[in-house]
Amino acid sequence: MGRDDDVAAWAAHDLGRVIVSADEVAARVRELGREITRDYEASPPLLVCVLKGAINFMSDLMRAIELPVEVDFMAVSSYGAATKTSGVVRIVKDLDVDLADRDVLIVEDVVDSGLTLNYLRQYLGARSPRSLEVCALLLKQGEQRVEQDLKYVGFSIPSDFVVGYGLDVNERYRNLDAIYTFVGEV
């Protein structure tokens, strides 16, 4: 894909090609919402948003799910200010609700190495949920160091570092509607 002509002028110099357009994101989120609605019809899930990158995705996804879902938020860090994961996961904000005997759906922005997600699954799995699944907006091709079984994936993308639709570099670019390669300096 090429560049999006509607890209914000303040960000244009740091953005490469469009990986997923705003229209593609919106359509896929609606599809995921329908799948989740169907799969969890008997037992609406607790959606656990992994902050901050998944906030845009979570916001749109929960509106696309036609069930009385509950939400909670968790903040983890494995990047810091870098564009590659450090491999060290740090919990910045933990959940407020009990997971025991609940269907839990982790809502993640991007899965690359899989180390953070693997850690989260173990950490949350120790709290005795009835089920623990993952809905990831993006899966980076060929980057996984840990085998992942993801129930829902929005898009499989190249291993480029990307920004937009919640994904950032130094807290910038989250408010872009599309997902772009990042070509600027960190």
SS3 125: helix
E strand intervals along the chain:
15-20, 46-51, 70-77, 90-93, 103-111, 131-140, 152-157, 162-163, 179-182
- Rounded distance between C-alpha atoms, residue 67 and residue 82, angstroms: 37
Of 103, 98, 111, 101, which Cα lies nearest the Cα of 133? 103
Q: Which of 142, 136, 148, 72 is nearest to 109 (CA)?
A: 136
Query: From CA 41, how far away is CA 66, in angstroms rounded?
Result: 9
**112 assigned to active site:** yes
Amino acid of residue 65: I
Q: Tell me the sheet residues that pair with 103.
A: 131
Q: Which of 112, 149, 160, 177 is catalytic?
A: 112
Q: Which residues are catalytic?
A: 112
